Every structure is written in C-alpha cells, then in structure tokens.
Amino acid sequence: MSDETGAGKLDSFSRELFQELFSPAGEKSPAAQQEIVEVTDLLQKAREQDLTQPIVNLFRLLRRIRKEKGQTPRDLGVEESDLLQLAVKHQQIDEHEVTIGGRVLKALSIVEDANARAMAYMQEHPKAAPSGIELWDRIRENQERIKKVLGMKQEDWDSFSGQLRFAIESVKTLSGILDLPENAVTDIQRVTSQYRMRLTPYYTSLIMPGAVNDPVLLQSVPTGEMIDNVGEEIPPVAADHSPARLIDQFYPRVATIKATNMCGMYCTHCLRIAHIGKKDRIYSKQAYQEALDYIRNNPGIRDVLVTGGDAFVLPNDLLRWLLQELDQIEHVRLKRMGSRIPVTTPQRIDSELLDILEQSNDQKPLRVVTQINTAQEITPVSRETFRQISKRVSAVLNQAVLLRGINDTRTKMWKLCETIQEAHVRPYYVFNCSYRNPQFSHLRVPVPVGQDIIESMYGNVSGDAIPRYIATAGGKIPLHRSNVAGRAGSDIVLKKPWSGEEVKYPDASEEDHSNADFSFARYVE
Ligand SMILES: *Cc1c(COP(=O)(O)O)cnc(C)c1O
Ligand code: SF4
C-alpha cells in the first residue's frame, strides 16, 4: 500500500483491514457471478448514499470473498483508491468517527462472538424456563379449575382473605387439584403431620399439572425426603443470632425484626423452618416494644429489616405503627421489609398498604426485599403488583435461593434474573441453600455449580441483573471466585468470567498512589 493513495491517513485497524484484503493469496478459486454482481451493486450504493451501512456491507463481502476464494478486491474490479475514499467517507459520516477497520474487524466480530454465547440461551429459555407471563393462558385455565374444585367465587379469588380462607393445607384437597402419584400422596400425608403445608389457590395455579418436579410444586409441597433426611440437628438460626426478643443481628449496622412467624405460603426450603409455619402466632405489642427498645438503645444500627415469616401478612395498622416507630429513631436511617407475598398472594397488596409504604419511604428510604426463585412465579398479576410497589419505595430487591431442579442451570437463572428485572425487581442475592436444615438437604446445589451459573451471567446479561452469590455461615459470605489470575510485572492478569480468556490489565502504580503530591497539591508551595 502506498502513501500517495492516502493509506497513511488510516488508523491501524483499517490498515490491517486493507492489508488483509489486498495481500496476494496462495490459492484462488473464481468468485461466483452473483458475488461479482453484489460487489458492483454495493460499490455503487456505497458511493451514492450518505450512509455507513452499504460501506460496511461492501467491506464485509470483500473480506469474505478474499477469505473463501482468495480473490482480492482488484480481482473483482475494485481499486484500492475506491475503497480508501469509502473508508474516509465512512469515518466522516459516523458521529463517533468510527473507522471502517474498527467496525468491520473489531466491533462486528465482538458482537458476533457475544451473540453466539447467548444463542443457546435464546433457543432454550422458552421451553426450559418459561415465565408465568409466557404460561399465562395455562395458568388461567388452572385458575378456573381450582376455583371450581374449591368452590371459590371470583371475589374470593381477588381478595387476600379469600386466598387465605381457601388456602390448601391438606394433601386431600391438593390431590383434588393436582394429579399426584398415589405413593406421593401417602408420603405427603406422612410429612404434613410434622411440617405444615400451605399453598394459596393463586400460587397453586402456577403449578403446571403433569410436570414431574414442577419448580413451583417443589417449592411448596413437601416430599418424604423432608423427614427421611435426618441429619445432624443444628439449632435454629435464632439461637446464635438473636440478642433480643424478635431481633436477629450479626452485623453492627443492620438488624432484623422477625415481626411474625406467619407466611402466605410455606416453603419446602425455609431457612426458618423451626419456627415458621408450625403454629400461627400473633405477637404482643410488648414483644415489638422490646425489639424497638433494643434498636433504640443501639445507636450503631442504621438499617432495620422487618421480616418474619412474611412482613406483609401483618395487618396494615401494625405495619404503619412499626414503620412510624422506626422512622422516629434518629439513628435508624433506612428500612427494609421482607415479603414473598407479592409472588405467592399478590391480592394482599392493597392501596392502603401502598400508601403506608410510600409515607414511610418519604421519611427514610424503604426497600422491599422479596423472594422469587423461578421465572414461572412472575405472572402479569405479580408483575403489575411489583410495578405498583416499585413506584412507592426506593427499590424492590430479590433474594433467591439456589435450589436443585428449580433454578440450578444457567438458562433457568438467567431467565429468572431477566424476568424479574423486567418486572421492576432487582436481583440482589442468590443464596446457596443452607446446610443447617437437614430437612431440605435434597434441594441443595454444590457451590461450584452455583459459581458457574452466576459467573456465566457476566458479560451476557445486563450488569444490574446479576445477583451476588452468598453462603450464610455466621453472616453472609460471598461465594464468587476471584477473576484476578495473577500479576505480570506492572499488569494484573484478569480472567473473563464468561470465557476464561486471560487479559492483561495495566495497573496503577502503588508508589504513585502513596504519594500525596498530585494535582492541586503540586501548585502549593
Ligand atoms: C441477611 C441478613 C441481614 C441483611 O444483610 P444484607 O447483606 O445487608 O442484605 C441482616 N441481618 C440478618 C440477621 C440477616 O440474616
Ligand atoms: S416465605 Fe420465607 S419465611 Fe415464609 S416459609 Fe417461605 S422461605 Fe420461609
């Protein structure tokens, strides 16, 4: 390439592109007539139109023909000077002065590689992990069937009290709705004499009849493993983390008020299985007062989590009072409420509750922390509920539990995180299922499997849809593997989480960093 043609003006990416196109090939095979017609056609368009696309298409076609047939542009009647003019024109048209070499050699192949990574997911997810939005027609059919079996009127269905009144607590009722294997029915009977089962009719409608190990069924209906899994009894979490009545605390700045032991439904994987869902208990004002006193007397506490059980099973008046009390404590700066009810019983979220949330959020930021484990749990109804909540509070965050057969593949977890993000909920944590409760050890997933799943999300989904992977072992401990592979001189060697490819990252010097004499300090005598 000679400088008289203007090649010297090109950036290094474009020079590389020109070299690739014009270098003589060892073996050649003739270009197809159609390819020649296409080249001529694109060349004309690229010259006539003030657009980048025909120029890019021309270069891509020439590059393919050179690669596959060994034909240079000149062999096809296109001169280097023609292409140089187009290269300059491309850069002039583009608002960000992207060069033809940068776009064709780099950007487009980076995007193609990225697309290839997501391809398997795109093909798999509608079948492997359908959302409740995608399954809505079938869920609606389920709802009609359940209403008929239980004798529910539409107004019962649409109200929280109706959902609780008709909640399914016996295997007899459940088997009238779902076609369960006979030996499963016997086993569930055996388990439910010891552990409580409760599904709201709404949550039951998310179960797809006929699906073995349906992910919603697994979360809500206990199997024989729950009592067969006798392991070492470890005392309930509260035993080593509760410094005061109703309080759990293991961080200096965050405390939890377990404001109730009731939930809209009972989960097979419940960490608090020891005191949740055994027997509904209404707590006394005195208990709440003692919890509030503890927070009042500990000025280090700035963030208070109201949880349970499920905070939203509490009556509106009590929630309003509790939030007002917390807002009046000077050192409490933020609040959170933990609730699965928007997913299990969205009928609970009435306008009065929304007003209470907004009023408290106006005082000091309030977040709602929920638990959604599969995309199947997001329906048009729960999505609308989350949309309404998200307008009234600072953030709606999700804490999922990584569960065997439920969300333990890349596709299922990506789909969960993308679906909730589209439903106004931000993925926050994914917990590795706890070792403390032998009852649900059959639902546990090995740590490396979870690491692979979470790491696969980097570079593939929106950054704010990627949760942190956590083990609970006397506080929350991040389970991420390090992506810092080592050091090479002044560079840090980094590993790309999605491919394992290593890249060098020039680091700032520690010597410079420890020197305070920089910027404005340098002007001071
Ligand atoms: C999870 C938890 C918290 C909150 O932890 P964050 O990391 O701030 O979300 C606080 N207290 C207890 C007892 C907890 O279990
Ligand atoms: S909603 Fe939470 S506290 Fe209630 S049963 Fe499920 S996991 Fe346990």
Under 8 Å between Cβ of 60 and 104: yes
- Which single residue is written with the structure tokens 């009238």? 176
Structure tokens at 15: 């020079």
- Position 321 scores a pLDDT of 98
Say how many Å lie between the CA of residue 127 and the centre of ligand 1. 35
Nearest alpha-carbon partner for 10 in 77, 90, 64, 73: 90
Q: Look at ligand 1, atom 4, and give the residue with the nearest C-alpha.
A: 254
Q: Which ligand sits nearest to residue 219's alpha carbon?
A: 2
Q: Helix, strand or coil for residue 224?
A: coil
Query: Is the omega angle on the peptide bond into residue 309 within 30 degrees of 0, that is, cis?
Result: yes
Radius of gyration of the chain (CA): 30
For residue 503, being part of any structural domain is answered with: yes
Say how many Å lie between the CA of residue 332 and the centre of ligand 2. 26
Say how many Å lie between the CA of residue 309 and the centre of ligand 2. 6
Q: Quick check: CB of 476 below 6 Å from ligand 1?
A: yes
Say how many Å lie between the CA of residue 350 and the centre of ligand 1. 27
Say how many Å lie between the CA of residue 271 and the centre of ligand 1. 13
pLDDT in tens, 475-489: 899 998 889 999 999
Alpha carbons 157 and 136: distance in angstroms, whole number: 16
For residue 493, being part of any structural domain is answered with: yes
Q: Look at ligand 2, atom 3, and give the residue with the nearest C-alpha.
A: 309
- Position 233 scores a pLDDT of 66
Same domain membership, residue 149 and residue 108: no
Alpha carbons 1 and 9: distance in angstroms, whole number: 12
Same domain membership, residue 107 and residue 142: no
Say how many Å lie between the CA of residue 254 and the centre of ligand 1. 7
- Position 308 scores a pLDDT of 87
Under 8 Å between Cβ of 301 and 255: yes
For residue 171, being part of any structural domain is answered with: yes
Under 8 Å between Cβ of 134 and 126: yes
CA 2 to chain centroid? 53
Q: Which of 90, 118, 146 is the last residue of a domain?
A: 118
Give the pLDDT band of residue 76 (cuts 50, 70, 90): very high
- Position 2 scores a pLDDT of 45
Give the pLDDT band of residue 245 (cuts 50, 70, 90): very high
Q: Which ligand sits nearest to residue 252's alpha carbon?
A: 1
**The pairing of beta strand 502-506 with beta strand 491-495:** antiparallel
Nearest alpha-carbon partner for 454 in 433, 468, 464: 468
- Which single residue is written with the structure tokens 């409490």? 332
Number of domains composing the chain:
3
Under 8 Å between Cβ of 17 and 63: yes
Same domain membership, residue 211 and residue 144: yes
- Position 439 scores a pLDDT of 85
For residue 242, being part of any structural domain is answered with: no
Looking at the CA of residue 338, tell me the nearest atom of ligand 2: 2
Q: Which of 199, 227, 255 is the last residue of a domain?
A: 227
Q: Quick check: CB of 251 below 6 Å from ligand 1?
A: yes
- Position 247 scores a pLDDT of 96
Looking at the CA of residue 263, tell me the nearest atom of ligand 2: 4
In a mutational test of the pocket of ligand 1, which residue from 301, 305, 307, 472 has the highest number of ligand atoms less than 8 Å from its CB?
Answer: 305
In a mutational test of the pocket of ligand 1, which residue from 248, 249, 251, 336 has the highest number of ligand atoms less than 8 Å from its CB?
Answer: 251
Say how many Å lie between the CA of residue 454 and the centre of ligand 1. 20
For residue 79, being part of any structural domain is answered with: yes
Give the pLDDT band of residue 333 (cuts 50, 70, 90): very high
Same domain membership, residue 354 and residue 413: yes
Structure tokens at 333: 């700066």
Alpha carbons 338 and 260: distance in angstroms, whole number: 11
For residue 232, being part of any structural domain is answered with: no
- Position 161 scores a pLDDT of 96
Say how many Å lie between the CA of residue 255 and the centre of ligand 1. 7
Residue 378 pLDDT greater than 90, yes or no: yes
For residue 236, being part of any structural domain is answered with: no
Same domain membership, residue 318 and residue 277: yes
The DSSP letter of residue 194 is T
Q: Which ligand sits nearest to residue 270's alpha carbon?
A: 2
In a mutational test of the pocket of ligand 1, which residue from 426, 476, 477 has the highest number of ligand atoms less than 8 Å from its CB?
Answer: 476
Q: Quick check: CB of 428 below 6 Å from ligand 1?
A: no
- Position 4 scores a pLDDT of 47
The DSSP letter of residue 433 is P
Say how many Å lie between the CA of residue 397 and the centre of ligand 1. 13
Nearest alpha-carbon partner for 198 in 344, 407, 398, 402: 344
Say how many Å lie between the CA of residue 280 and the centre of ligand 1. 24
Looking at the CA of residue 339, tell me the nearest atom of ligand 2: 1
Say how many Å lie between the CA of residue 122 and the centre of ligand 1. 34
Q: Quick check: CB of 305 below 6 Å from ligand 1?
A: yes
Q: Which ligand sits nearest to residue 477's alpha carbon?
A: 1
Q: Got the DSSP string for 166-183?
A: T-B-SHHHHHHHS---HH
Alpha carbons 365 and 393: distance in angstroms, whole number: 7
Q: Which residues line ligand 2 (CB under 6 A)?
A: 263, 266-267, 270, 272, 276-277, 308-310, 340, 371
Q: Look at ligand 1, atom 7, and give the residue with the nearest C-alpha.
A: 476
Instruction: Give the DSSP H or E segment for 480.
Output: none
Backbone angles phi, psi at 93, to 5 degrees: -70, -40
Q: Quick check: CB of 250 below 6 Å from ligand 1?
A: yes
For residue 349, being part of any structural domain is answered with: yes
Residue 14 pLDDT greater than 60, yes or no: yes
Same domain membership, residue 504 and residue 370: yes
Same domain membership, residue 277 and residue 195: no
Same domain membership, residue 190 and residue 290: no
Under 8 Å between Cβ of 247 and 294: yes
CATH number at residue 309: 3.20.20.70
State pTM to two decimals: 0.92
Same domain membership, residue 91 and residue 55: yes
Alpha carbon distances (Å) from 52 to 6, 12, 36, 57: 20, 19, 21, 9
Instruction: Count the neighbouring beta carbons within 10 Å of the beta carbon of residue 320.
Output: 18
pLDDT in tens, 198-226: 999 999 999 999 999 999 999 999 999 98
In a mutational test of the pocket of ligand 2, which residue from 198, 267, 402 has the highest number of ligand atoms less than 8 Å from its CB?
Answer: 267
Under 8 Å between Cβ of 35 and 65: yes
What's the rounded mean pLDDT across residues 291-318?
A: 97
pLDDT in tens, 85-94: 999 999 999 9
Residue 1 pLDDT greater than 50, yes or no: no
Measured over the CA atoms of residue 364, residue 365, residue 368 and residue 369, the dihedral's sign is negative
Residue 149 pLDDT greater than 90, yes or no: yes
- % of the chain exceeding 70 in pLDDT: 97
Q: Look at ligand 2, atom 8, and give the residue with the nearest C-alpha.
A: 270
Same domain membership, residue 439 and residue 325: yes
Q: Quick check: CB of 302 below 6 Å from ligand 1?
A: no
pLDDT in tens, 262-289: 999 999 998 877 767 678 888 999 999 9
Which amino acid makes up residue 514?
A: S
Please, what is the average pLDDT of the chain? 94
Q: Which of 175, 196, 227 is the last residue of a domain?
A: 227
Same domain membership, residue 291 and residue 430: yes
- Domain holding 353, by residue range, is 247-523
Give the pLDDT band of residue 193 (cuts 50, 70, 90): confident
Same domain membership, residue 507 and residue 368: yes
